[in-house]
Chain A
Amino acid sequence: MATEIVMPQMGFDMKEGKVARWLKKEGDPVRKGEPIAEIETDKAVVEMEAFGAGVLRKVLVHEGRTVPVGEVIGFIGAPDEALPGTASAPAAPAQAPAAPAEAKRPVAPAVAPAPAAPGGEVVASPIARKLADEMHVELRQVTGTGPGGRITKEDVLAYVEKRKAAPAPAEAPARPAAPAPAGEQVIELSKMRLAIARRMAESKRTIPHFYVQVAIDMTEAMTLRKGLNEALGGGVKVSVNDMIVKAVAATLGKFPLFNASYVDDKVHVHPQVNIGIAIALDQGLIAPGILDANRKSLVEIARASRDLAERARQGVLKAEEYTSTTFNVTNLGMYDVDNFTAIITPPQSAALSVGAVKPQPVVRDGRVVVREMMVVTLCIDHRVTDGAQGGLFLKELRAALENPVSLLL
């Protein structure tokens, strides 16, 4: 019995996904668990695994096409088994019922190239077919605007334009580059790097960022941390970042606008607080989430973050872990960085950049003392909220971290 490949739900609010790239061709063998396609959601490009073993028998939804979650996009099965009828597969708009008397096609049945597909043959003009062939366009993906839904040359060209604008890695037409000057090294970007490049550029292009900064006195927190880790006895270690995550999660509970997304002139406040912690990998950066962080204890957060870092390095994160984050925390403290400003990861509307904890001279009660100081920068989407709220958020965060016992509650 053939296994259906279904557009997966890869995020709690995911409604549809785009098949960015098939990693297997029809006829290729597939092992259970092997990555079979790259699915693009509005949050990330994610690999999906095969849930069955066999051969990729049929691709129903081709690269570049977006379908609702749950739709069958292909079949895995034995090389010779019959595939179930796929009457449920919605026909592309281009498939007008095979044109009646107008049928200009003088093609003898023996010559018919197009596979008999569920919705019938695609109606496309000769030049449209020629172009589609040359430009590697799957006609089923194209919307036809000619009479009777015929795909015209314009339609194919419009599709190619759209495909260029879409960030599918499958596209990549080699632009004839100027010959590199001697000694210059040209680096091919990894999938992850490309995805980051695209997402960050889009973020900066569309989100009006502004930044609010505060220096937090972490002296008490560092003391508490030491004591905690001694008490825990080595099984789990609580890090500075874990405490920050806990504090941020609690603060987000009180400032829900920072746990939201700006979509089409509306702000969607998320019910779950999923804090993404940025983890550096060889090939780039990933920010898997500690889900429901505001309902986890500090120790649970510590365990979760350790586990995430471990699995991130092994490359075995679950898709929902990095597609459902609502607020990211990036910590560059380990590099002794004083402070920095991050770029908000869409569709989030805020993020926290964390610097190193360093002994600094500060003024307390009119006297200069040395305290463990850490500067954080809150990055905010100005469409959602503004400076005053940012200030209040940081005030709350700072209060939590400067009275760290509250983190144990």
Chain B
Amino acid sequence: MATITYREAISGALHEALQADPRVFIMGEDIGDYGGSYAVTKGFLKEFGPDRIRDMPIAESVIVGTGIGAAMGGMRPVVELMTINFSLLALDQIVNIAAKIHYMSGGQITVPLVIRTVSGGGNQLAASHSQSLEGWFASMPGLRVAVPATPYDARGLLRTALKDNNTTIFVEHSLLYPLKGEVPDDWYTVPFGKAEVKRQGKDVTIVSYLRMTQVALRAAERLAQEHGIEAEVVDLRTLRPLDVEAAVESVKKTNKCIVVEETWRTGGFGAEVVGQIQEAAFDFLDGPVMRVAGKDVPMPYARKLEQAAIPSEDDIIRAVKAPA
């Protein structure tokens, strides 16, 4: 067992894949010479050389498109979109090619591509650089969407993504990179489509993913200490495939549920989670399944406003305590 950061967990998984499989190579902006805008691929260029660690121009459609082509040709590329905001420029490649070519070719062509990207806000990067769009990709048949909240899950899910023959949108969060956690020395993976109870409790179920799982865990601690309420936190880990079973089992116990996500409330993927939970656990609910989500605004630049727009521990605590 080792205690490493979220960043190191991801970096390590990439490193071991590069070592083990010559078909694996990485493409993205600033991932080589600069070592990655979040230092994930620091030292990789020196170790693996420019053929396998390829700096790309600011041309997301090209980055993803070439990755798709390489994957179709038998390689196992890992491309990076510096932030999920920039995926907007590669949407057609992702949605119409990567997600669908296997289906549209009658199974003849596969696109085993990992698209790593960074989602969310909190760094005062303002409206166009702070969005959380992973939910959009989670609606698309043909894609996988991983949203790890811990170093353990990050490494485990990335290993699974690297072996998966479909295109995975592997979503990271800049504020999670320094988070430390225990990771086994032995080989392990985390399967797609399996949510996990990160904290047990009997009074309320909080369902979340990515950075919001960490916020929920902190809120749960405070709920226990300050209000005597024991919250059960269910971490989704992947949005596609989506597993609500853990959440439903939890709701059967607690009768109350709150879904927390960073993206805008309106039409956020949380609404899908709410829908599936209430379908399966309707008779066990003591009230409607509630949501705590990002405010329906373009992310403000001003620090206090930005903080107000992103769900906080206080927001979660307030939602748990409010009659619903």
Q: Inside 8 A of A154's CB, which chain B residues have their CB?
A: 286
Q: Report whether B288 and A153 are in contact in the complex, using a CB–CB cutoff of 8 Å.
A: no
B132 at the interface (CB under 8 A from A): no
CA distance A146 to B283 in the complex (A): 17
Q: Report whether B286 and A153 are in contact in the complex, using a CB–CB cutoff of 8 Å.
A: yes
A127-B255, A153-B255 known; A146+B284 contact, CB < 8 A: no
Q: Inside 8 A of B284's CB, which chain A residues have their CB?
A: 126-127, 130
CA distance A146 to B288 in the complex (A): 12
A104-B288, A150-B287, A152-B287 known; A126+B282 contact, CB < 8 A: yes
Instruction: Give min CB distance, A236 to chain B, whole Å.
Output: 67
A128 at the interface (CB under 8 A from B): yes
- A102 to B, closest residue via Cβ: B288
Q: Report whether A130 and B323 are in contact in the complex, using a CB–CB cutoff of 8 Å.
A: no
Which of B282, B287, B323: most chain A Cβ within 10 A?
Answer: B287
Q: Identify which of A104, A127, A150 contacts B283 (C-beta below 8 A).
A: A127
A147 at the interface (CB under 8 A from B): yes
B2 at the interface (CB under 8 A from A): no
Q: Report whether B323 and A125 are in contact in the complex, using a CB–CB cutoff of 8 Å.
A: no
Q: Inside 8 A of B255's CB, which chain A residues have their CB?
A: 125, 127, 153
In the complex, chain B residues 7-29 whose Cβ is within 8 Å of any chain A Cβ: none
In the complex, chain A residues 139-194 whose Cβ is within 8 Å of any chain B Cβ: 146-147, 150, 152-154
CA distance A129 to B285 in the complex (A): 10
CA distance A147 to B286 in the complex (A): 11
CA distance A154 to B286 in the complex (A): 9
- A130 to B, closest residue via Cβ: B283
Q: Inside 8 A of A147's CB, which chain B residues have their CB?
A: 287, 323-324
CA distance A127 to B288 in the complex (A): 11
CA distance A126 to B287 in the complex (A): 8
Q: Inside 8 A of A130's CB, which chain B residues have their CB?
A: 283-284
In the complex, chain A residues 230-274 whose Cβ is within 8 Å of any chain B Cβ: none
Q: Inside 8 A of A146's CB, which chain B residues have their CB?
A: 286-287, 323
- B322 to A, closest residue via Cβ: A147
In the complex, chain B residues 280-324 whose Cβ is within 8 Å of any chain A Cβ: 282-288, 323-324
Q: Report whether A128 and B286 are in contact in the complex, using a CB–CB cutoff of 8 Å.
A: yes
- A148 to B, closest residue via Cβ: B323
In the complex, chain A residues 323-359 whose Cβ is within 8 Å of any chain B Cβ: none
Instruction: Give min CB distance, B252 to chain A, whole Å.
Output: 9
Q: Inside 8 A of B286's CB, which chain A residues have their CB?
A: 125-128, 146, 152-154
CA distance A128 to B284 in the complex (A): 8
Number of contact residues on B: which range applies? 10 to 19
Instruction: Give min CB distance, A313 to chain B, whole Å.
Output: 54
In the complex, chain B residues 236-256 whose Cβ is within 8 Å of any chain A Cβ: 255
CA distance A154 to B324 in the complex (A): 13
Number of contact residues on A: which range applies? 10 to 19
Q: Report whether B323 and A126 are in contact in the complex, using a CB–CB cutoff of 8 Å.
A: no
- A152 to B, closest residue via Cβ: B286
Which of A125, A129, A150: most chain B Cβ within 10 A?
Answer: A125
Q: Inside 8 A of A126's CB, which chain B residues have their CB?
A: 282-286
CA distance A162 to B285 in the complex (A): 23
Interface string of A117-140 (1 = CB under 8 A from B): 000000001111110000000000
Q: Inside 8 A of B323's CB, which chain A residues have their CB?
A: 146-147
Instruction: Give min CB distance, A74 to chain B, whole Å.
Output: 31
CA distance A127 to B253 in the complex (A): 11
CA distance A154 to B282 in the complex (A): 17
Q: Inside 8 A of B287's CB, which chain A residues have their CB?
A: 125, 146-147, 150, 152
CA distance A397 to B283 in the complex (A): 67
CA distance A146 to B324 in the complex (A): 7
Q: Inside 8 A of A152's CB, which chain B residues have their CB?
A: 286-287
In the complex, chain A residues 80-126 whose Cβ is within 8 Å of any chain B Cβ: 104, 125-126
Interface string of B43-73 (1 = CB under 8 A from A): 0000000000000000000000000000000
Instruction: Give min CB distance, A30 to chain B, whole Å.
Output: 37
Q: Report whether A127 and B324 are in contact in the complex, using a CB–CB cutoff of 8 Å.
A: no
- A129 to B, closest residue via Cβ: B283
- A104 to B, closest residue via Cβ: B288
Instruction: Give min CB distance, A370 to chain B, whole Å.
Output: 75
Instruction: Give min CB distance, A260 to chain B, whole Å.
Output: 45
Q: Inside 8 A of B324's CB, which chain A residues have their CB?
A: 147
CA distance A170 to B255 in the complex (A): 29
- A128 to B, closest residue via Cβ: B286
Instruction: Give min CB distance, B257 to chain A, whole Å.
Output: 11
CA distance A127 to B282 in the complex (A): 8
Instruction: Give min CB distance, B258 to chain A, whole Å.
Output: 15
CA distance A264 to B288 in the complex (A): 42
In the complex, chain B residues 214-247 whose Cβ is within 8 Å of any chain A Cβ: none
Q: Inside 8 A of B282's CB, which chain A residues have their CB?
A: 126
- B285 to A, closest residue via Cβ: A126
CA distance A129 to B287 in the complex (A): 12
Q: Inside 8 A of A153's CB, which chain B residues have their CB?
A: 255, 286
Interface string of A372-394 (1 = CB under 8 A from B): 00000000000000000000000
Instruction: Give min CB distance, A147 to chain B, whole Å.
Output: 5
Instruction: Give min CB distance, B323 to chain A, whole Å.
Output: 5
Q: Inside 8 A of B283's CB, which chain A residues have their CB?
A: 126-127, 129-130
Q: Inside 8 A of A129's CB, which chain B residues have their CB?
A: 283
CA distance A212 to B244 in the complex (A): 73
Interface string of A298-338 (1 = CB under 8 A from B): 00000000000000000000000000000000000000000
CA distance A279 to B303 in the complex (A): 85
- B282 to A, closest residue via Cβ: A126
Kindly list 20 other residue pairs between chains A and B, CB separation below 8 angstroms, not including A129-B283, A147-B323: A104-B288, A125-B286, A126-B282, A126-B284, A126-B285, A126-B286, A127-B255, A127-B283, A127-B284, A127-B286, A128-B286, A130-B283, A130-B284, A146-B286, A146-B323, A147-B324, A150-B287, A152-B286, A153-B286, A154-B286
Q: 11 A-B contacts, Cβ less than 8 Å apart?
A: A125-B255, A125-B286, A127-B255, A128-B286, A130-B283, A146-B286, A146-B323, A147-B323, A147-B324, A152-B287, A153-B255
Interface residues of B (CB under 8 A from A): 255, 282-288, 323-324
A-B complex: 8 closest residue pairs judged by Cβ atoms? A125-B286, A126-B283, A153-B286, A127-B255, A127-B286, A147-B323, A126-B285, A130-B283
